[in-house]
Chains A and B, each alone.
Chain A
Amino acid sequence: MKENKIILSHGSGGKLMYSLIENIFLKNFKNDILEKLYDSGIIEFENFDLCFTTDSYTVDPIFFKGGDIGKLSICGTINDLAVTGAVPLFLSSGFIIEEGFEIENLEKIVKSMEEISRQAKVKIITGDTKVVERGKIDKIFINTSGVGIKDKRIKLGIEKIKEGDVVIINGEIAEHGLSVLISRDTFKIDADIKSDCAPLSELISEILKETDKIKFMRDPTRGGISATLNEIVKNRNFGIVIYEKKIPIKQDVKAICEILGFDPLNIANEGKVVVICDKKEGERVVKKMRKNKYGEKAEIIGEVVKKPEGKVLIETLTGSLRIVDMPIGEQFPRIC
């Protein structure tokens, strides 16, 4: 069934979104930098690389446990730069605001953007504001773009990944997505799950200093770990196996997933990074991560395997292997 209208699933980080990127954006904008589909575009200069990225943020509700749309918009862009190996430096911020939006809330959002930028040592150096008629958008949308500088010696890329490399995550998964969902109060669930929303530039620069054996990094946001790992293996001559018992996850997060029939692997994170690294240096990277406050629960969760090519598998608690598929679209709670 060919889609002729945009549906919500087109934006939720799953297969439909990738078909949109490939068939509409990549097809029309095609160039050598975009083609790589890295989290930021890398522009090569003689002595350094300039990394450039952009992201737009819309979230309901705009204030949730562990963060708000402002903090999210800064962390997301910082992390997109950091995972390509860059030190994030300057950001822009564009606001599209619905008529009638409380100025008090706008200031709350801006303050939280300022606080997190200061902590991550980036500056917001330009911006834009548009106001649209009531009902044309939902409260407030924020776009941030960012630039950062990457040391030429840091060479990251999916093509560097080899059989035997390990897969590392810096902590417990699925907290952002569930926190937002619960804050919406649709499911009348009362739980203290905070979004993991955090800037990871410091943690990433620390591990890059620790070893030059890091092959690739990506932040598992929409579509969760499943989407990120599937993006990595897509059309490659290797696969990835992860181990269910090694994946860090809070008991309460697991419980909510049980209630609503969600797979935590498919749920968004905003303060996590998946690192693929040479096996020999895996433990070292994990140790280094654990010293950072955003990496205390870091673990090696899997490894790169020769077969099956292009697939992600999970070794379940029963000891069997099954496929971890790219999520298809918006997750709906199951009752079946």
Chain B
Amino acid sequence: MKYIEQYRNTEKQKEIIKEIHKYGKLINRNVNIMEVCGTHTMIIGKYGIRKLMPENINLISGPGCPVCVTPINYIDTAIELSKIKDVIIVTFGDMMKVPGSFSSLEKEKANHAEIFVVYSPIDALKIAQDNKDKKVIFLSVGFETTTPLIAQTLKISKEKNIKNFYILAGNKLIPPVMEFLLREKDTEIDGFICPGHVSVIIGLSNYISISERFNVPCVISGFEPFDILLSIYLILKSIKENDCKVINEYKRTVRENGNIKARKVMYEVFDVVDDEWRGIGLVKNSGLKPKDKFLDFDAEKKFKIINKNSKEKKECLCGEVLKGKKSPFDCPLFEKICNPENPYGPCMVSSEGTCSAYYKYERK
């Protein structure tokens, strides 16, 4: 596997780990480094990277999992939609197990709801074309990486004049939430490992603005353990040299200006709105809803589902975990009451949620 396995050389990694320890000593205070990408969270867990860090270097996980930050109200709406006659729900696999207030899509499937899992939004459109007598609703979640693909799919759908394809929009933007977290009281974030594939689309400019205003190093990282280790090293070096800036570790894929064409498609279809993040709350300018031109595709407008009874379970610490203020280990429910079989809060439900990754790979 070219451009994957070259980055998995154990010896090189050991050398970087040594350097990280050297800088850990030189800095000699607690450093919190936050990643805001579910796949980074998974890799840190899967390759046991947290355990390789010096004691004063904490890797904390931010709201990097789109499934986890999707509000419970959205899940409840999706479930209600799945109960409508002649509706097919199409979704990424990640959403299947997420519990709403009373049920999950996986359980509704057992109740004879028509729910299909796809790998690509294009496949969802194909399902609409193959089932002209049904209304096909795609659960449109995801960050900047995924949203342009959905936007493109809507454009194709409009061009082909497909009348039975809808989306339930829950797409979100990463830089506004990073800024939100930096403004939170008592969060201490000393550096960001920035999401590689979100950055493929948005480029460097958003991070430059954040880094300058908040004096925090931002390193855009790839997805091999080598990339993560290298990014941690680069953050520590920036802190030591008191030279906080944006570094692109993932240059092999991320261009300075991002993917302009993809961004253009995204903003042709979606408007930026204030949006609710599960566990975090309302974040200014952090969400996306279809523009007027594309309202015919908006399932929310078309089916007018109103959920008055959506309710979160109060006891869990997911909100604090998503903000990086607490580790899953701090939560009294973690492992005991809340586990992947019986998820209590949003961070346990999706496979790349912070609590789920900690449970899967790091529980003691």
Contacts and interface: CB of A to CB of B under 8 A. Distances in A.
A and B touch in the complex (CB under 8 A): yes
Given A5-B107, A6-B110, A335 B360 contact: no
A230 B146 CA distance: 35
Contacts of A260: 119
Given A254-B1, A316-B48, A322 B110 contact: no
Contact of B4 (A5, A258, A336): A258
A321 B8 CA distance: 16
B65 A336 contact: yes
Nearest to B226: A318
Contact of B119 (A15, A187, A318): A187
A127 interface: no
Interface stretch (B89-97, B172-180, B301-309): B89-97
B9 to A, nearest CB: 8
A29 B139 CA distance: 43
B132 interface: no
Interface stretch (A112-120, A142-150, A271-279, A325-333): A325-333
B110 A320 contact: no
Interface string A244-261: 000000010011001011
Interface stretch (B39-47, B245-253, B291-299, B320-328): B39-47
Contacts of B52: 318-320
Interface string A1-45: 101011111000001100100000000000000000000000000
B146 A16 contact: no
Most A C-beta atoms less than 10 A away, residue of B13, B45, B111, B119: B119
Given A5-B111, A334-B93, A258 B351 contact: no
A322 B110 CA distance: 34
A103 interface: no
B341 A255 contact: no
Nearest to A15: B341
A16 B341 contact: yes
Given A16-B341, A323-B361, A318 B106 contact: no
Interface in B146-179: 146
A333 B47 contact: no
Given A323-B361, A335-B119, A318 B47 contact: yes
Contacts of B359: 325
A333 B119 contact: yes
A188 B123 CA distance: 10
Contacts of A16: 341
B350 interface: yes
A336 B363 contact: no
A317 B119 contact: no
Most B C-beta atoms less than 10 A away, residue of A3, A16, A316: A316
A318 B13 contact: yes
A321 B110 contact: no
A316 B110 contact: no
Given A251-B1, A332-B93, A336-B38, A320 B51 contact: yes
Contacts of B106: 7-9
A70 B88 CA distance: 33
A323 B359 CA distance: 9
A276 B351 CA distance: 30
Contacts of A317: 8, 10, 47, 225
Given A15-B341, A258-B4, A332-B117, A320 B67 contact: no
B284 interface: no
B96 A332 contact: yes
Interface string B100-139: 0000001101110000011100010000000000000000
A40 B38 CA distance: 41
B62 interface: no
B362 A323 contact: yes
B275 interface: no
A8 B106 CA distance: 8
A139 to B, nearest CB: 19
Interface string A163-198: 000000000000000000000001110000000000
Interface in B326-361: 340-343, 350-352, 359-361
Contact of B225 (A9, A188, A261, A318): A318
B48 A320 contact: yes
Contacts of B117: 186, 332-333
A322 B65 CA distance: 21
Most A C-beta atoms less than 10 A away, residue of B109, B225, B350: B225
A320 B225 CA distance: 11
A67 B142 CA distance: 38
A14 to B, nearest CB: 9
Given A323-B362, A334-B94, A336-B38, A7 B65 contact: no
A1 B13 contact: no
Given A332-B96, A334-B94, A336-B94, A319 B1 contact: no
Given A251-B1, A333-B117, A335-B94, A319 B14 contact: yes
14 contacts: A6-B110, A7-B106, A7-B107, A8-B106, A9-B106, A316-B47, A316-B225, A318-B10, A322-B45, A322-B48, A323-B360, A332-B93, A332-B97, A334-B94
Sorted nearest first, the 6 A-B pairs with minimum C-beta distance are: A332-B93, A320-B48, A322-B48, A322-B361, A336-B38, A318-B47
Interface of B: 1, 4, 8, 10, 13-14, 38-39, 45-49, 51-52, 65-67, 92-94, 96-97, 99, 106-107, 109-111, 117-119, 123, 142, 146, 225, 229, 340-343, 350-352, 359-363
Given A319-B52, A335-B146, 17 more contacts: A5-B107, A5-B110, A7-B106, A9-B106, A186-B123, A316-B46, A317-B47, A320-B48, A320-B51, A321-B51, A325-B359, A325-B360, A334-B351, A334-B352, A335-B93, A335-B119, A336-B66
